Structure 1
Amino acid sequence: MDPDLVFVPPNLPEDIAAGAVLPIDKPANSTSFDIVREVRSLADLKKVGHAGTLDPLATGLLIVLVARPATRLQDAFMYLRKTYTGTMRLGETTPSHDSETAVTESVDTSHLSEAEIRDALEAFVGEIEQVPPMYSAVKIGGEKLYKKARRGEQVERPPRPVTIYDACITDIRGSEVDFKIDCSKGTYVRSLARDVGAELGVGAHLTALRRTAIGDYRVEDAWSLDQLRDAFGM
């Protein structure tokens, strides 16, 4: 990867068509493609992509690749480890494993100790097999799973190997559990919340997620959309 292609606030390249890597702080309730579409409009270029999708409810670091010299680096960025902070709610299960869908089952969690909760998360540190959520872009039978899920279908999803390099609980407020994890490409944090809830026997879903780092790149150094619009004179 060429560090000369990475541009952080407040500087943009003189000729963005020559290639640029733009770390952007994605806001909640926007898709990763929404951000790509906006950068395409601002840069007046079609060749724009990103290196790692964030769910609409998630916020944080999205690496946007502008023009061919940057988009060819997509795989290299994708394989960097990711760092997330987030919150899971124990005792409530949803079909999507996050708060985008309604709670379908509620279970009392008052019997759980903080030690049990911490141990349950730490049990997933290392190389694990993870089943992707039905509400995901994984394709089975040539169709994305979320399309099947929206029709009420359930299909077998083969587990995928991922690595959780580190995981810790940062705060516990009743059934609300804040955490931080470092993980590999392909890790679904929603699935991790689901699996922690299953380990504890109470279910769980993700209520907040923020990607704070991709490799050595940090969200603190990323563009906000307003900063980016200003830099483009929009």
Structure 2
Amino acid sequence: MIAIPTQEELIEGAVILIDKPLTWTSFDAINKIKRLMKAKIGHCGTLDPLATGLLICCTGKMTKRITEYQKQEKEYTGIIHLGAVTPTYDLESKPEQEKPFEHLTDDEIIEATKAFTGDIKQTPPIHSAVQKDGKRAYELARAGKEIKLEPRDVQIKTFEITKIALPEVHFRVVCSTGTYIRSLANDFGAALGCGGYLQALRRTKIGDYNVDDALTVEQWVAELKAAE
């Protein structure tokens, strides 16, 4: 049974876990429940609208620990779609540059994960919130500006292929903060020579916190209303 903080505990300071729904922004999820509590609240790491899963939120004095939670290791599951690319590296834009993928064997796909495991250099997507010349990269990209982002050091502890049903490749990744799974999907497809983009993504863990212990936004709304 998941313990629900009282209004007093929320005001004082608490950690709550939300299972963010598809198409919602992280702020959408927070704002929906913020109206029902009298505490200040912030989240510990944005999830893209097309991703679902664990969103850690801190209230009251616990908001001082947001940076601490943001730095913790994360786990994701998802699907990489092979045989095409997209400008955003996911389904926020349309697939293009289709290439054959049918020749790939399971062994080749699994072997390709080794190049993306451990300490690696990764270039963030240009359609991301990374700062470039004082602006968000996605703002420059949408304005048609040419952008070059520098590679960053990230650590991918685990890159496991859990199912292959071409063109879909299901995976589980454990990685450091700052890792872009969209970039991983794009780079993985490039390494296989056919292109790839992120079709689906779910964040399952942040540090010791698990999405299995999270409530949906609707469940939080119901619990907070019941506590009024």
Q: CA RMSD for the aligned pairs? A: 1.3
Q: CA deviation at 1:37?
A: 1.7
Q: CA deviation at 1:107?
A: 0.5
**SS of residue in 2 equivalent to 1:30:** coil
Tell me, in whole angstroms, the C-alpha distance in 2 between the residues paired with 1:153 and 1:176.
Answer: 32
Query: How is 1:79-118 mapped onto 2 (pairs within 5 angstroms)?
Result: 79-118=71-110
Over residues 35-73 of structure 1, what are the superposed CA-to-partner deviations in whole Å (9 max), with x where a residue is unaligned? 12223212134x311111110000000001112x11100
Q: CA deviation at 1:78?
A: 0.8
Over residues 156-188 of structure 1, what are the superposed CA-to-partner deviations in whole Å (9 max), with x where a residue is unaligned? 101111100011100010110000010000000
Tell me, in whole angstroms, the C-alpha distance in 2 between the residues paired with 1:210 and 1:38.
Answer: 20
Give, as a single letter, the amino acid of the residue that structure 1 aligns with 2:70. M
**SS of residue in 1 equivalent to 2:16:** strand
Q: Which residue does 1:4 correspond to in 2?
A: none
User: Match for 1:25 among 19, 22, 38?
Assistant: 19
Query: How is 1:1-234 mapped onto 2 (pairs within 5 angstroms)?
Result: 9-15=2-8, 16-45=10-39, 47-67=40-60, 69-233=61-225
Q: CA deviation at 1:89?
A: 0.4
Tell me, in whole angstroms, the C-alpha distance in 1 between the residues paired with 2:111 and 2:145.
Answer: 33
Contact 1:13–1:20 (Cα < 8 Å) also in 2? no
Give, as a single letter, the amino acid of the residue that structure 1 aligns with 2:115. A
Contact 2:11–2:59 (Cα < 8 Å) also in 1? yes
Give, as a single letter, the amino acid of the residue that structure 1 aligns with 2:221. R
Give, as a single letter, the amino acid of the residue that structure 2 aligns with 1:106. E
Fraction of identical pairs, as percent:
43
Tell me, in whole angstroms, the C-alpha distance in 2 between the residues paired with 1:92 and 1:81.
Answer: 30
Aligned length: 225
Task: Provide the TM-score with structure 1 as the length reference.
Answer: 0.93
Over residues 142-169 of structure 1, what are the superposed CA-to-partner deviations in whole Å (9 max), with x where a residue is unaligned? 1101111212223110111110001110
Tell me, in whole angstroms, the C-alpha distance in 2 between the residues paired with 1:198 and 1:101.
Answer: 18
Tell me, in whole angstroms, the C-alpha distance in 1 between the residues paired with 2:219 and 2:66.
Answer: 24
Query: Structure 2: which 5+ runs fail to align?
Result: none
